[in-house]
Structure 1
Amino acid sequence: MRVYHYLELESALERSGIGTAADHQRLAVERANGDGIHASADVTDDTDDTDVELVTSPCDGRPWQIPARLARRTDPFVAYDVAHCNGIGPGSLALAGHARRTGRPLVLHAHVTREDFAESFRGSTLAAGPLGRYLRWFYSQADLVCCPSEYTKRVLESYPIDAPIETITNGVDLPSLEGFEAFRAPVREHYDLEGMVVFAVGNVFERKGVTTFCRLAQQTEFDFAWFGPYDRGPHASSTVRTWTKNPPENVTFTGWIDDKRGAFAAGDVFCFPTKVENQGISVLEAMACEKAVVLRDIPVFEEFYTDGVDCLKCSTLSEFRDALERLADDPALRRRLGERARETAEEHRLEVVGERLHEVYRRVRAKT
């Protein structure tokens, strides 16, 4: 079976959660197949249905040739059995329209909701309302909408989305984190980090709790480090510009780090005071590295993590502070939480994701 697995603006999304989730899907299918994926437009018609062949090239030719080929009434798209889109922009619209016109099953992966779009970029909160109306229409075109959590499914149902919705974890790529321990000393030395380091990983947004992160630092004596890119240009929110330009003395914003293993090696307690999340891949990565995890107590985390078992959950600034101080005073608790967190992460390994995707592709194809 040939699946056109499409991620719009792939290079621009390389450092985003959406890009990571799409990469996980491709790796997951590869591992479920037991051999390599074929990301090529040069395909034949004798694909074995027992495996899934992913076609990731956007068209038979060059992407910028699509309008001209459509004008000549020449089909620009490669042959495929199922379309699986991970974006919401013009390219995704074009592929969704092609799938609908040609009677091919369409799977749309809902990485974006109006709720998690707010408080990300400058103006994103104002745009969240119109975006929600667009997403309701766009996702409703699908034969199946996939999303990473039951929380996100409930959000989409509230819009409402006129399509069946199923959950598939974004997963965690356990092999990609192997050997992270070797990075600890050099990364800590490079960023001048000492003692119990409180850390976060990912894009720096207000939605992800940068204000809480920095205020926690102001109220404690721990070193804090946020590993991930941030923007101080016109797209950045005023909050992000303020904190990254003038951070508390014990906070380091590292910017993009080439090897994520360095972040998980240097940090000791993963602190993620995010306000809205569809799942949170970085949480699973921290858990895979057996780090103690402190989370904001929000609905999406209820289905995945248990307070006092594989994490600590907090609602207020004082609760976050108390949790950090408790972990600093009790290394055995940090170790115990980390061990259980690793068990949780293994439940989201990519082999599980691959099996689910294979099953989804076979089922939607069988219905058309």
Structure 2
Amino acid sequence: MNYMKNKRVTRKKEKHIKILYIIPSKTPTGPHIAILNMAIGISKNLKMKIFIITPKSFELNYKNYYEKLRESASIYEVSFKKQGILYWLSLAIKAFKLALSKHIDIIHTASLKILIPLGVICKLIPAKLILSLEGNPLYEMFEFSLFNRMIIILNWVIGMRLVDLILPCSKWLKSEMAQYPFLQDKLSFLHNPIDFERFQNAKPRGIRQEIGVPEKAPMILTVGRLHPVKDIETFLKAAEKTVKHHKNAWFVIVGDGPLRKNLENITKQLKISKHVVFTGFRHDVERFMAAADIYVMTSVYEPFGLVVAEAMAAGKPVIVTNVGGMPEIVGDAGLTVDARDVDALAEAMLKLLKDEELRRKLGEKARERIEKSFSAESVGERLVQIYGSLLKDERQ
């Protein structure tokens, strides 16, 4: 009791807010990229002190983010080859020791799997626990193994009750999560921030030549996992209709996943193989954005749409399905169509292909919208307010 009391007294005197970000994934994923962009967004605020726990491969796999954060954040690595029970235990122990020794105010993560140990740590220290939410865990868990589903359910039932604040990545997702009564008092929302400079200043650097797309041919791009939720099949069927009217159009699919072989077969069946490129997974997505003329997202479920925002930051006109959080990201700076509507998507593609001025205007509008509302700096300003408000009662 004396320790807790003394710790609170010490915090009243401290001028900095100390944030510990937990990045458990070895490979870059949307939720953890969003967390790192949040860290970048607050990194210039002198009242913030940033600490990050990551796997040992952070410098290599998250190179762009490491370069931007290495001067402003203290980075601590956890070394385990496999992300099994021992890895998660080691991560929790590292978080506890660091939170205790550095007097951490807030632990912020996007990982549901580690909520219970982080929640317990925050009660002991004490500190506040924030979860950034990129989707509805109960909807998304069915693609995981039985063991991982059990972990998700356990953290949903217990871990979510230990969280002080939940930040869904869109207003749409906030409304989805509000259907669960025990979460309603914990919900706010924060749009995912974008590494605006990375995409605004990107150059193609010969990417068309590398993948075999002619320099002057219109290039329509989509990026994402080759997974049913992304509905690349609709993209391909719309491409087939578009090619009939615009014979020099090319369609580039960046990403990999379980449906790749099936989608390549569909491309052959539609007789558009000469117009379609599958690149597999790439780290240099910004080069593709810079080279593209149009960006398309055909998802049937998309709580935010990080890649859409990145394409907009690159100044590209976008076509998205009218699902999830995408319409609130795009606003009036792009075109929306109903999910799985092949004819509507083909019509939207042709509309942009035929009107260069419309492409230019939408691209400019898209870039301005992202810079104003979705850049790391603009989202970071709101995040600082959220952190301050969460700690306000404790520090008064």
Whether these two folds match at TM > 0.5 is yes
Looking at both structures, which has the greater relative contact order when contacts are Cα pairs under 8 Å and sequence separation is at least 6? 1
Between the two proteins, what is the percent identity of the paired residues? 19
Q: CA deviation at 1:358?
A: 1.5
Contact 1:286 1:293 in 2 (8 A): yes
Question: Which of 209, 233, 249 is the matching residue for 1:189?
Answer: 209
Find out whether 1:351 has 2:367 as its counterpart.
no
Give the aligned partner of residue 152 of structure 1: 173
* Amino acid in the other structure paired with 1:275: V
Question: Which of 141, 147, 160 is the matching residue for 1:139?
Answer: 160
* Amino acid in the other structure paired with 2:375: R
Give the aligned partner of residue 312 of structure 2: 287
Structure 2 gaps, min length 5: 1-16, 55-71, 244-248
Higher helix share: 2
Give the aligned partner of residue 44 of structure 1: none
Question: Which of 109, 119, 122 is the matching residue for 1:85?
Answer: 109
- Deviations 1:275-307, CA, capped at 9 Å, x for gaps: 11121111111111111100111242333333x
Counterpart CA distance in 1 for 2:44 and 2:264 is: 39
Contact 1:206 1:240 in 2 (8 A): no
Q: CA deviation at 1:107?
A: 1.0
Counterpart CA distance in 2 for 1:178 and 1:34 is: 28
Contact 2:49 2:73 in 1 (8 A): no
Q: 1:363 to 1:341 in 2, by over 3 A?
A: same
Counterpart CA distance in 1 for 2:227 and 2:276 is: 15
Q: CA deviation at 1:20?
A: 1.4
Question: Which of 357, 361, 364 is the matching residue for 2:387?
Answer: 361
Contact 1:210 1:240 in 2 (8 A): no
Give the aligned partner of residue 57 of structure 1: 76
Counterpart CA distance in 2 for 1:4 and 1:160 is: 28
Counterpart CA distance in 1 for 2:276 and 2:87 is: 47
Contact 1:5 1:54 in 2 (8 A): no
- Deviations 1:44-82, CA, capped at 9 Å, x for gaps: xxxxxxxxx8655378xxx969859999xx963433111
Q: 1:134 to 1:106 in 2, by over 3 A?
A: closer
RMSD: 3.5
Contact 1:114 1:129 in 2 (8 A): no
**1:7-18 mapped onto 2 (5 Å cutoff):** 7-9=23-25, 11-12=26-27, 14=28, 16-18=29-31
Q: Post-superposition, which runs of at least 4 consecutive aligned residues in structure 1 deviate over 6 A? A: 68-71, 127-130
Q: CA deviation at 1:112?
A: 3.4
User: Aligned residues, how many?
Assistant: 337
Question: Which of 227, 232, 242 is the matching residue for 2:254?
Answer: 227
Structure 1 gaps, min length 5: 42-52
* Amino acid in the other structure paired with 1:146: L
Give the aligned partner of residue 21 of structure 2: 5
Which deviates further from its counterpart, 30-39 or 297-306? 30-39
Counterpart CA distance in 1 for 2:303 and 2:223 is: 16
For normalisation by structure 1, the TM-score amounts to: 0.80
Counterpart CA distance in 1 for 2:290 and 2:365 is: 18
Q: CA deviation at 1:205?
A: 2.1
Q: 1:116 to 1:264 in 2, by over 3 A?
A: farther
